[in-house]
Structure 1
């Protein structure tokens, strides 16, 4: 009696493990549905993710470089080809240089249009050009070092291959593309021979729920009474069967953004469900889905896919799962590249800010120096009290009013100093010392303090030399004036060069510390303007 009871219990237990029940494959079906939805959604294909947006920054840097170039280069005809065949830099930039010149160096910087004017021909202009060239080189070098990665569009093609098979962007009915030729070939049968199980996610979905007879497979994936109209009878019917089954997924709406983490989690969960229904039956150790028999053939029984051949054959594996892993790896690389692109764009903006600031400072120094020189010239043109007294003593005495330094005003009967107190000889002497047309000494040509101090030309009044030299001790953040003879006159006050720089630490909302300003002039020979 006891033996019979035990036998009955065992029979009931085994029956509960093998008999079909609606919804037995609900978990497996739901997971495949989530994978389908994720692969169909794909990654966003915005250009910013794949490519650095620094063209505007480079255009600004090139424009500032051109605005500070020497006259011989700036005045070139950039349509010329002869003589530049081996100059890759000329070939690369000539069209951009031509366009910038034609547009008067106008650039869109921030929210406003900026007219980048030519800087005056002095040693400071060369410093601005060097700043621009260094920024262009640094930005392009950083761009060249961006890690390689597939684009979002290319990764989405991989995800389509997960769904529909290698190189397929939609479900195909041709042989060997998306589905197996029949139920046995598509679903793995007993796993003893090569088959199409795992060829595509679409193939495995119809094996699990499609069936080629009644609706038992549909009930296993869904619920009692569930039906599938388009049965999976072979590859010719695969696409329509897949479309109908996919339409019964419960995860059609509100699909979250596709991510490495989500796809990795789904792939890991999928692998844990292989063989969970084996219940001691070794033939089912590689089954995905409960299955009504030891073989998987899309018959009228609870569906399954047998991956025995794929998982026991060296270097084979489940093809769509391998493609999914490749896509996940490419997404990781793409994320690394995207982060590097963001860093590059920030660095490029910072380089643009630095060079633009150097340009504005050079422009400000030139403008202030010009205005100060004009004011000083106007002041020097006024007659001194001594000159006035020298002439005034001959008021009402035209005969003795000295004609070389005074003019006699007959209407007022006054002897007055001549307008422009400098004599012809003095003017000639200054022009000879400064160079033709008063261009001033070319101090920028000197590269060491000794030659700078011995520059030829007439010295300004009260100055020890024609040119001045500054030296910067790097990494110690202090200025050592080895030869520091230049001054500026601003608002009737005398300022050393360093103090004048200090007055420019803020210009049009752009700030920079004193060391940055001095670095523009480090180890430099410059014109003594005043």
Structure 2
């Protein structure tokens, strides 16, 4: 009698170690619910940081480049492109050049509209043109070298495929796209033959919790009293059975836009749970879920998924888990691209500020040198001293006057130089004869260094007018200093403006 009692106790003990009971698969079900929720949430698609916002910067740089172009190029009809076939640069920008010219080079910089006027034809104009061109090429090259990455929409489509099978955005009722045929074909059986275990998260959740007629499997996942109206007894019932089962999930707190770290944590936990109920039963070391049997067939018992074929026999891995790992890598690549885009946008703005500063400096230099150039041009229209003396010799003869390239004034009987004759001595500091610059002549007539005094300076073995040289150099120094001050002023103004914007 005692022997029989002991045998009965041992039998009950062994049964408790091998047979599943209600709630044994709560942890496994809860984890799959979390993965489904994360994949369903997807990452945000409203942001546009995948493509750099540099079009405004490039348009400004192109406008400045055009404002500094030489007169021959700027005067072209950019609507005419037939003569420039094969010229990539011309065909790329001709339409933009045409619009800029028609709109007086107006550009929106920050929040303000600015009309970029033509730069004066001075030595710095070419510098500005080259600065703008170099900036355009640098920004475009940086944009072309951005690391590749999938878009948010593509990644979200992949996340949907993890839940519903590759390429699907919702569960499919036929074609073994989301579910295998119920039984060993869907849930892995004994793992010896090819099967659909792992084809989708939806499939594996039903293998774990669906059952085919009663609620034993549901109770294993949802605990005592857990029920499902629709059973996993055919592929056709799969979509409705999954929707009902997913509605039983308690883990629906997926964060918006699951991170790579969050998904990695879920995947790692999933791997750790495979075989966690095996104990000493080697037949269960590839099982996900406790299960009531050594095989996984979605029968009327607490369920499981057998991944032996996928992890050992077939060796290609669990399909939805492999796709999840690839998607995690895609999310990381996308984050790398996002950071590269932000850096490019910042550097593009810096390039724009630099070229704008050069543009402002060119205008400042033009404002400083314009009066000097006008005065020089006016002075150059005066007749030279030699011309005056040459023509005066022919006051008495109109014939000789005109013959010597002079104009004869009959009413005054005077022979005068033609207007526009250049004064080649102007601005040199030395004048050929008396009357034009007597002080310069006085210094230049002193041939000995000891005589070179009183406003004169001995330089290059010559006696020169020191006062003229001093004032000329001082004027140039003051002009250069003023250019720097003007440039600094404009830089501060534009820097403050860009910071405000």
When normalised by structure 1's length, the TM-score is: 0.74
Q: What does residue range 56-75 of structure 1 map to in structure 2 within 5 Å?
A: 56-75=56-75
Which residue in the other structure is 1:504 paired with? 486
CA distance in 1, matches of 2:469, 2:183: 93
CA distance in 2, matches of 1:113, 1:368: 26
CA distance in 1, matches of 2:206, 2:352: 57
Larger radius of gyration: 2
CA distance in 2, matches of 1:495, 1:351: 29
Q: What does residue range 407-418 of structure 1 map to in structure 2 within 5 Å?
A: none
- Any unmatched runs of 5+ in structure 1? 381-423, 434-456, 465-484, 514-530
Structure 1's 160 and 261: CA in aligned 2 closer, same or farther, altered over 3 A? same
Structure 1's 301 and 73: CA in aligned 2 closer, same or farther, altered over 3 A? same
Q: Does the CA contact (< 8 Å) of 1:295 and 1:306 recur in 2?
A: yes
Which residue in the other structure is 2:447 paired with? none
Cα offset, 1:427, TM superposition: 6.7
SS in structure 2 at match of 1:347: helix
Which residue in the other structure is 1:297 paired with? 297
- 1:91-131 deviations in whole A, cap 9, x for unaligned? 11111111211221111101110110111112211111010
Which residue in the other structure is 2:91 paired with? 91
- 1:252-311 deviations in whole A, cap 9, x for unaligned? 245343111011111111011001111211111111011111111111111111111111
SS in structure 2 at match of 1:31: helix
Q: Does the CA contact (< 8 Å) of 1:182 and 1:235 recur in 2?
A: yes
Q: What does residue range 101-116 of structure 1 map to in structure 2 within 5 Å?
A: 101-116=101-116
Which residue in the other structure is 2:403 paired with? none
Which residue in the other structure is 2:277 paired with? 277
The number of equivalent residue pairs is 423
Which residue in the other structure is 1:241 paired with? 241
Which residue in the other structure is 1:160 paired with? 160
Structure 1's 93 and 29: CA in aligned 2 closer, same or farther, altered over 3 A? same
Q: Does the CA contact (< 8 Å) of 2:146 and 2:341 recur in 1?
A: yes
Q: Does the CA contact (< 8 Å) of 1:173 and 1:236 recur in 2?
A: yes
Which residue in the other structure is 1:328 paired with? 328
CA distance in 2, matches of 1:162, 1:486: 84
Q: What does residue range 461-472 of structure 1 map to in structure 2 within 5 Å?
A: 462=429
Which residue in the other structure is 1:354 paired with? 354
Structure 1's 184 and 486: CA in aligned 2 closer, same or farther, altered over 3 A? farther
Cα offset, 1:493, TM superposition: 6.8
- 1:35-75 deviations in whole A, cap 9, x for unaligned? 10111111112453311111111001001001111111111
Q: Does the CA contact (< 8 Å) of 1:120 and 1:366 recur in 2?
A: yes
CA distance in 2, matches of 1:487, 1:18: 107
Which residue in the other structure is 1:53 paired with? 53
- 1:457-493 deviations in whole A, cap 9, x for unaligned? 76536499xxxxxxxxxxxxxxxxxxxx99999xx97
Which residue in the other structure is 2:420 paired with? 428
Cα offset, 1:81, TM superposition: 2.2
Cα offset, 1:313, TM superposition: 2.7
CA distance in 2, matches of 1:458, 1:331: 74
Q: What does residue range 30-41 of structure 1 map to in structure 2 within 5 Å?
A: 30-41=30-41
Cα offset, 1:208, TM superposition: 1.0
SS in structure 2 at match of 1:507: helix
Structure 1's 34 and 47: CA in aligned 2 closer, same or farther, altered over 3 A? same
Q: Does the CA contact (< 8 Å) of 1:218 and 1:228 recur in 2?
A: yes
Structure 1's 231 and 461: CA in aligned 2 closer, same or farther, altered over 3 A? same
CA distance in 1, matches of 2:88, 2:157: 36
Cα offset, 1:497, TM superposition: 4.6
CA distance in 2, matches of 1:324, 1:134: 43
Structure 1's 181 and 117: CA in aligned 2 closer, same or farther, altered over 3 A? same
SS in structure 2 at match of 1:125: helix
- 1:120-143 deviations in whole A, cap 9, x for unaligned? 112211111010001011111111
Which residue in the other structure is 1:208 paired with? 208
Which residue in the other structure is 1:460 paired with? 427
SS in structure 2 at match of 1:495: helix
Cα RMSD for the two superposed structures: 3.1
Cα offset, 1:16, TM superposition: 2.3
Which residue in the other structure is 1:220 paired with? 220
CA distance in 1, matches of 2:229, 2:430: 102
Which residue in the other structure is 1:444 paired with? none
Q: Does the CA contact (< 8 Å) of 2:23 and 2:222 recur in 1?
A: yes
- Any unmatched runs of 5+ in structure 2? 380-415, 432-467, 496-501
CA distance in 1, matches of 2:39, 2:469: 70
Q: Does the CA contact (< 8 Å) of 2:194 and 2:314 recur in 1?
A: no
- 1:217-243 deviations in whole A, cap 9, x for unaligned? 111111211111111112111111111
Which residue in the other structure is 1:312 paired with? 312
Structure 1's 164 and 459: CA in aligned 2 closer, same or farther, altered over 3 A? farther
Structure 1's 458 and 261: CA in aligned 2 closer, same or farther, altered over 3 A? farther
Cα offset, 1:507, TM superposition: 2.5
SS in structure 2 at match of 1:138: helix
Structure 1's 212 and 371: CA in aligned 2 closer, same or farther, altered over 3 A? farther
CA distance in 1, matches of 2:494, 2:108: 22
CA distance in 1, matches of 2:168, 2:419: 86
SS in structure 2 at match of 1:11: helix
Structure 1's 353 and 240: CA in aligned 2 closer, same or farther, altered over 3 A? same
